[in-house]
Structures are given as structure tokens and as C-alpha cells.
């Protein structure tokens, strides 16, 4: 089988993690799955861009950007293409969309994904923006062009929460999905259980590198709501929008609320929930009390988890990391393998 030719839009932490995996595990991917990946283009707003149909060595790309260096210093037939020119002209089969996330407009990623699919290229992405805001439209464009949009890394990074739901549990009749989908707030709630105020828990999360300078996306439940929409639409075939998710963050919680739950033998967690109710699907993100024996009760620190309630199996829960450079890079590897299988490759 011919190599899968990859164009990467964005070469920050996630893109570099992915390149690292392709460098370290390229031989294994080929031996185990018959999958040969050839990076033909990289375009990054800050780090420059290169295109070479003969293939770019991931080690050399990583070397080039080390310590603030630019891809423009690399030898390649074409340099300086921006994202859209790369998507339009690269000699590629797959575009990896790894630009920055915007959960309001979805841009610029939404335009990138749409352009790639309309050109008949597969898309893999870790970017919640386009997938949470426009899944239905994008999935239709992908189907029209006979290509796939894969987005494992948008939920729980490389922990295969989406593939578990779509490939391994879909046939079991998924009735409900509950998850701890945001590591920052789960870490903060753990600190607040230990007595910290909301403010100091947030400061600790920022010091640990979990929370961003503007933490509103995490603490107001917006990030979790994006993941809830993606799970509902990907796994349950719903057509939810962000505005369909009833959302409440953790900003009004106090250490007393957490202590009160504990005193009742319960835990207070920020839970994303999706429930099938006849032909409709309801979704919410809210702090909820759950019993100590609930499968999500023991999920601590920055870990994430998703619990699928199915007709045939009852509850099946997957716990794993929700972030990380290599973990998120691995999500893209899983997406590439899914595309490889759809082209008739080994599984």
C-alpha cells in the first residue's frame, strides 16, 4: 500500500508531539499495521512553512524549530506557503489541522477543515472548535467527497474515548454518556476538597500548567461543553450545538460545598452528561453530587474519564489522561490508523 501523505497545519506543542511519535514509531507503524506516513508539508503561522512531495524527515523538522528556529531554514522545494495555500496545493492525502482552538467562531480551523474536505482530503484534528461547532456540516462535506474527518484528540487527548464509543460500543446501544472531561476543573475540585478556596485552587492549577491565564473556558464549563457536543454528535449521532448544552461551571462552588458532599458519602464533580430521551438527546455540564461507588467518583487530579451506559453491557468506563504533548500526538496516530483501515489497511 502507498504511503499516506500528510500536511500539517500548525506545528506547536501538539504538532511537534505528533512528529516525535512519527519519528520514534514510524517503523513500528509500518511493521504492525502496514502504515507508512510521509510528511509532505508543514505550515505554522510563527514557525514558517515547507512543502516537499518527496517527504520531510520529522527529526529534521523538530530540529529546525528547536529554540525558536524557523522551518524556513529547512531545504525544501517550496517554502512560505500559508495554511490555505498548503491545503490547496500540498501533494497530500490527509491534512492534520492543529491550529489554535476557538470555541466561539471555530476559526481559523473551521475554514482550514472545510477547505481540506472540499478538496477531497481526509482531515485529522485535535481542535475542538470546528468539530464542536460544525460537525454536522463538516461530516456531510466529508461524505460527499468520500473522505473522513477524525478527531480523537478533541476529547480526552489520546485516551481513545471517541473510538471506544464509535467503534467498540456503538452496537451495544449507548443510552447515556457521563464524563469528567476537563482536567483543570477536576484538579481544582480535588484541591478544594482538601480545603483550598476557589481562588487558590485556580492559582495552583495555573502554577501546575493546567489552567490558562484566562481560565474562563475551563471554570465556566465551556471546554467540557464542547466535548459534550462532540461525544453526542459523534457517538450518538445527535445534531447538538453548543447552545443546546445546559451549562453551569464551578465558579460558585466553595470548599464547604465539597465538604458537605463528602459528609454525605458523595463527591462533587463537574460532570458532562448526554442522555437519549426517546428521539431527542439532552446534554448538560454541571457540578453534580455522585455516590462514592459511581464509576467517576475515583477519577482524581487532572485525569479524565467517560462512562458509557449501554443496553447490552450496562456501564463501561474509560479513564485516562486528558492532555499532554505525546498523549495528544497519539490521538492523531489513532486517527491516521482509522483512515488507513478505511483505505483497506491492516487493523
Residue 129 vs 183, nearer CB to a second copy: 183
If one asks whether residue 26 binds a second copy (CB under 8 A), the answer comes out as no
x/- mask, a second copy, residues 32-51, rule CB under 8 A, reads: xx------------------
Residue 45 vs 297, nearer CB to a second copy: 297
Question: What is the Cα–Cα distance from 148 to 140, expressed in whole angstroms?
Answer: 10
If one asks whether residue 143 binds a second copy (CB under 8 A), the answer comes out as no
Nearest Cα to 131, choosing from 174, 99, 164? Answer: 99
In the chain, beta strands by DSSP E: 4-9, 37-44, 48-51, 78-79, 94-97, 122-125, 149-150, 174-180, 245-247, 266-277, 280-291, 303-310, 314-321
Residue 140 vs 346, nearer CB to a second copy: 346
Binding residue (CB under 8 A) for a second copy from 23, 62, 286, 326: 326
If one asks whether residue 68 binds a second copy (CB under 8 A), the answer comes out as no
User: β-strands 303-310, 314-321: how paired?
Assistant: antiparallel
- Residue range at the interface with a second copy (CB under 8 A); choices 162-170, 200-208, 220-228, 273-281: 162-170
If one asks whether residue 163 binds a second copy (CB under 8 A), the answer comes out as yes
| Active-site choice (128, 227, 246, 269) | 227
To the nearest whole angstrom, how small is the minimum distance from the Cβ of residue 171 to a second copy? 6
DSSP-assigned letter for residue 74:
S
Handedness of CA 189, 191, 194, 200 (dihedral sign): negative
User: β-strands 4-9, 94-97: how paired?
Assistant: parallel
Decide: 202 and 219 in contact? Cβ < 8 Å. yes
Binding residue (CB under 8 A) for a second copy from 63, 167, 208, 264: 167
Binding residue (CB under 8 A) for a second copy from 47, 281, 319, 332: 319
* Residue 227 falls in the annotated catalytic set: yes
If one asks whether residue 169 binds a second copy (CB under 8 A), the answer comes out as yes
If one asks whether residue 23 binds a second copy (CB under 8 A), the answer comes out as no
To the nearest whole angstrom, how small is the minimum distance from the Cβ of residue 28 to a second copy? 7
What is the end-to-end Cα distance of the chain in Å, rounded? Answer: 14
Q: Kindly list the strands in the beta sheet with 48-51, ordered across the sheet, starting from the edge strand earlier in the chain.
A: 78-79, 48-51, 37-44, 4-9, 94-97, 122-125, 149-150
Contact residues: a second copy, CB under 8 A: 21, 25, 28-29, 32-33, 157-160, 163-164, 167-173, 293, 295, 297-298, 300, 312-321, 324, 326-327, 329-330, 333-334, 337-338, 341-342, 344, 347
Q: Which residues are catalytic?
A: 227
Amino acid at each position: 500500500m502507498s504511503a499516506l501523505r500528510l500536511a500539517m497545519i500548525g506545528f506547536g506543542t501538539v504538532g511537534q508531539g505528533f512528529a516525535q511519535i512519527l519519528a520514534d514509531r514510524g517503523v513500528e507503524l509500518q511493521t504492525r499495521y502496514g502504515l507508512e506516513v510521509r510528511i509532505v508539508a508543514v505550515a505554522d503561522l510563527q514557525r514558517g512553512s515547507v512543502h516537499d512531495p518527496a517527504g520531510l524527515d520529522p527529526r529534521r523538522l523538530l530540529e529546525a524549530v528547536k529554540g525558536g528556529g524557523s522551518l524556513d531554514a529547512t531545504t525544501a522545494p517550496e517554502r512560505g506557503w500559508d495554511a490555505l495555500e498548503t491545503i490547496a496545493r500540498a501533494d497530500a492525502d490527509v491534512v492534520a489541522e492543529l491550529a489554535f482552538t476557538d470555541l466561539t467562531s471555530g476559526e481559523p480551523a473551521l475554514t482550514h477543515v472545510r477547505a481540506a474536505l472540499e478538496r477531497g482530503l481526509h482531515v485529522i484534528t485535535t481542535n475542538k472548535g470546528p468539530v464542536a461547532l460544525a460537525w454536522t456540516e463538516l461530516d456531510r462535506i466529508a461524505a460527499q467527497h468520500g473522505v473522513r474527518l477524525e478527531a480523537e484528540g478533541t476529547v480526552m487527548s489520546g485516551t481513545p474515548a471517541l473510538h471506544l464509543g464509535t467503534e467498540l460500543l456503538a452496537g451495544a446501544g449507548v443510552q447515556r454518556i457521563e464524563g469528567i472531561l476537563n482536567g483543570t476543573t477536576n484538579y481544582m475540585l480535588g484541591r478544594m476538597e482538601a480545603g483550598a478556596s476557589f481562588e487558590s485552587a485556580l492559582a495552583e492549577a495555573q502554577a501546575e500548567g493546567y489552567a490558562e491565564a484566562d481560565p474562563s473556558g475551563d471554570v465556566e464549563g465551556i471546554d467540557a461543553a464542547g466535548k459534550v457536543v462532540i461525544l453526542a454528535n459523534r457517538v450518538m449521532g445527535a445534531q447538538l450545538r453548543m447552545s443546546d448544552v445546559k451549562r453551569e461551571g464551578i465558579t460558585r462552588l466553595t470548599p464547604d460545598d465539597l465538604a458537605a458532599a463528602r459528609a454525605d458519602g458523595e463527591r462533587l464533580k463537574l460532570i458532562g452528561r448526554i442522555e437519549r430521551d426517546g428521539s431527542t438527546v439532552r446534554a448538560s455540564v454541571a457540578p453534580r453530587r455522585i455516590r462514592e461507588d459511581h464509576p467517576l467518583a475515583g477519577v482524581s487530579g487532572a485525569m479524565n474519564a467517560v462512562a458509557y451506559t449501554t443496553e447490552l453491557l450496562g456501564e463501561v468506563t474509560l479513564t485516562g489522561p486528558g492532555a499532554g504533548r505525546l498523549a495528544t500526538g497519539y490521538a492523531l496516530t489513532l486517527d491516521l490508523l482509522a483512515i488507513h483501515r478505511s483505505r483497506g489497511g491492516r487493523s
